[in-house]
Amino acid sequence: MTRAIILEVAERHGIDPSDMHGPSRLPHLCRARWEAMSILRERGLSLPMIGRMLNRDHKTVLHGLRRSG
């Protein structure tokens, strides 16, 4: 379920799913990650769980959720 969300968001943004986990902070990749974070949070996942899925710290996930509005 959660992997499918990441794949769907990556496809929608025209990026490789591995970029969602990578270190790059290019704006288009960040927007895709923020969208995935938002969807995963709506599904009830905790910040640390989302962070582990995307190779990020829970505080980075919190920042992304605030940015995604």
Q: How do residues 23-50 score in pLDDT, each as one tens digit?
A: 999 999 999 999 999 999 999 999 999 9
Which class for 39: exposed (0-12), middle (13-18), buried (19 or more C-beta within 10 A)?
A: middle
CATH superfamily of 2-68: DnaA protein, C-terminal DNA-binding domain (1.10.1750.10)
| Average predicted confidence (pLDDT) for the chain | 95
Per the CB < 8 A criterion, the answer to whether 9 and 32 are in contact is: yes
| R_g of the chain, CA atoms, integer Å | 10
Tell me which residue has tokens 């829970």.
58
Q: What is the pLDDT of residue 8?
A: 97
For the chain, domain boundaries? 2-68
Tokens representing 44 are 């009830």
